[in-house]
Structure 1
Amino acid sequence: MKQIQTDFINKLGIGAFAYISISEFCGLFEYVFENILIIIKTEPKIIIWLPGIMSLILFTVIVIWGIKKFNKPIEIDTRKVLNSLIYLYFGILIAQYLFIYFGTDFLTEKYSAEFDFYNKANKGSLMLRGYLANIPILQFVVFGIILLKNRKTVANNV
């Protein structure tokens, strides 16, 4: 009985850490992509919406890939997988911190004209940013749709 409880808790942790790791990775991708677009002098309105859309697409692709890859009836060491996902999550957080702390200062100093242009041109786009605040909600919607679509195959493997 204790093994079943531990296995259930580990599987719950695997799902939680897999989801937040994917979300944090996509957030890091979005931030880096936005900085790249600023540096190559892309139009400011595109810089506002394109990274968020690309992040949502990347999130969807990773979730679908993960479900297809791990939707096989195989025995896994749930404790080992959970530990790996916890390390992955904190690795992504450290990468985010390092990029934001060191990378942003470096980029704004080296490409100050590009960042100034982006900031000046971006002043009137609060409405668009408000719409883009719904992207995390779209991630939940996409995740729910993917799980509902694959529920028969996921449920059969339990």
Structure 2
Amino acid sequence: MNSPTVTVVAGNPKPSSRTLEAAQLVATAITGTPPTTVIDVIDIGPGLLGWGDPAVTEAVRAVAVSDLVVIASPTFKATYSGVLKLFLDQFASGDGMAGVTAVPLMLGAGPAHHLAPELLLKPVLVELGAVVPVQGLYLSDRGFAEPGALDPWLTRWRPAITTMLSSRDRS
């Protein structure tokens, strides 16, 4: 199998956030190599508020042609961020992410919202046509980079993701 095209999308209102760092860490841990494309949504700026902005169009295209995308957000008011919602609204429902394998990732301060990626972010990605073959990942915004923090999730779900990636036919 050729190396998969891997994109990280971080929807945090703070540029260069821990959310972005965590998403890159997860993508690298899944594939063994750094992501091909990194999209820090806040850097796109006001183009997210309308339609047809060239930077937004390019970011959407990068996600749509990816084999794997890690979509990450901090947990705000028990859900994903508004800036991520603005970005996801740029995709066509049903097929905007058709054929893309996606991993929903959310960071939070404590365990109270550990189901947020599964209950709130995963359904949106599926609505956009992404294949989400594994449980969403919730990480501590302070402990995500600690040695072993990803191990339980990776042990359980990396085989399913790599199987999906190796069986893809993007032709």
- Tell me if TM exceeds 0.5: no
**More strand per residue:** 2
**More helix per residue:** 1
Higher RCO (CA-CA < 8 Å; seq separation 6+): 1
| Higher gyration radius (CA) | 1
Q: TM-score range by the shorter chain?
A: under 0.3
